[in-house]
Chains A and B, each alone.
Chain A
Amino acid sequence: MKITRRQALAAGSAVLSSFILPARAQGKPIRIGSTLPLTGPLASLAIIHKVTAEICVDNLNKRGGLLGRPVEWVLRDDQSKPELTRTIYEQLITADKVDLIQSPYATASILAAMGVAQRYNKMLLHTSFGIPRLAKYDMQFQTAGSPFDPEVVWPNHIFDAAAKLPKPPKTIAIVTSKFPSVHAISVGAREVLKKRGLQEVLHLEYEFGNRDFGPIAARVKDANPDFLWGGTNGIDPVLMLEAMKKIDYRPPAQVHLFPAPGPMLKVPEAQGSLALTTFESHPPFTDDPAIAQFVKTYAERAKEAGIPYTAVDLQSAIMYAAWQVLEAAVNATKSLDDKTLAAWLRKSEVKCLFGTLKWNGPQNYVEGADLYKVKQLQQGRWLVVHPDPWAAPGAKIV
């Protein structure tokens, strides 16, 4: 058979394009269902998860989808209500007949979804479950890099970091919201600080949603600690620091566990504040070109979505990791069967954007170790400062 020059060129182009262009997803879409609190008290965080997941699904489809099929993300609004989360996951599995489910946001909603997942033998990856001991279902897997015992591991991370401060603290004031996860960690911190020979000079608990931080600020000022432990999340650290500013007080050093990152940048008194994270948008995290590209895309999409803080950090990273884990498990097993996927995860490790996730400990967690880091607000930027291998280039605790 004679091959013409034109045919030879066409064949060559086809072979070349198969290397250059990504595989095209074909066939019936794989439907992955989840809820997020798009309205209600947790909506400010849900939008970060939504934008991140949309990027993940787009990228996944550009790479050829899963098992050669396109991926469709079926997202519903759970209105920050766990009882509604339960109902919607039930609908996603029984009425929408999704192939797989993904994580809702926050402990209470994840717990609600976990019950449904267990009833229907669905694997549940979750991003933000604050009380691991309550995760009894054997096909649940966290993708946040958190340990089985955060009430021990996280206070130790923070006090390890605080020990590197120019003036290591000796006296601690613990002020914590009763929001379940941060409260549990703060209770643990009280035990940890005793074991480390530190002195607790104040312990206060307040209701989540507190409006007036004036008296709390005055009590911290009165106690005069070396270090303020803020068992706080969301906007509470900002409100607390502003109340302190009004009475001309600033703690010598402080941690706020999970602050809303954007608003903290605008508060001068927050400079130097420590917080927990898994990922920040700087090297070594962004050394991987794919992750650097994600950081860039996220910044663009977050801006379009009206999110004031457009850097990738803890919240977007844990959602990104959830999709990385799902993709790794499906690709490795070539299966959408929940039991097959769960069995693979239990014995495997998945490299995600902030380290290597494992599930070989109690209740699919790892005890005594995690992928969390300590960041510090320095000159208007959040920089990881502890542990050293993940620290931003040249960054030191100040």
Chain B
Amino acid sequence: MKNNNTIVLNNDNLSTLNHISVASNSDIIFHNISKSEEIIIDVINDINVFIKGIILGDDINLKIMINCKNKSQITGNLIDFSKNNSNIYIDVNLNDSYSNATFNSAILSSINDKKTFTINVNHNAISTDAKVSTYGVCKDNGNLLILGTSDIKENIIKCNTSQNVKIMLIDKNSVGIAKPILKIANDDVKASHGASIGQLNEDHLFYLLSRGLSVLEAKKLIVLGYFNNVIKNFKDDELLNDVSNLLDSRL
């Protein structure tokens, strides 16, 4: 089996690698990105591209545009641990038939952060599929707005699309807002969207505490479990360790 090409984006090369054309199966790794940038990724062949990684930094403005051509498949798994007034904006354009995107994101908003995370999918060709799942955790007065629009124009038929957002509030001072939006102009599609926002489950917390875990350890396990929908797809020990260490420091 031929290994995927790996493109590692980091703070040092981000300015020069801000427009990438990918023509063969590839892993694109966001390695602790912590600066503002606009990145364009063109996927030009019938290939699989995996985008994964961690976003860090203070007050960053990161815009990622992904253009899918032919029958390309994009799988994204991103964790956003950036701080303060960060704004992450992702646009996925499915430009040719049978291209599809699955995008899972996990966002932590803590200690007075006011963050916005947006992920839009534009179905620009018939028979394109997209599944977007976004998980947020807010704590210590953290404020998180998760936006997402799936757009299917008239005559762009036979598309499947879903936008789902879940936010967990660790304490009563935090605020989470979710707006998964469908803009659909024809009837021949399958589409769904959903949002749920809830507090940390006290029964889960009691269960873990009753086995001797401290409140901090228990909350960390619960948040890791919540983010596991994204983390489990990393399949990269270095990234997994980074996530665990970052959660230690942020919780």
**Are A and B part of the same complex?**
no
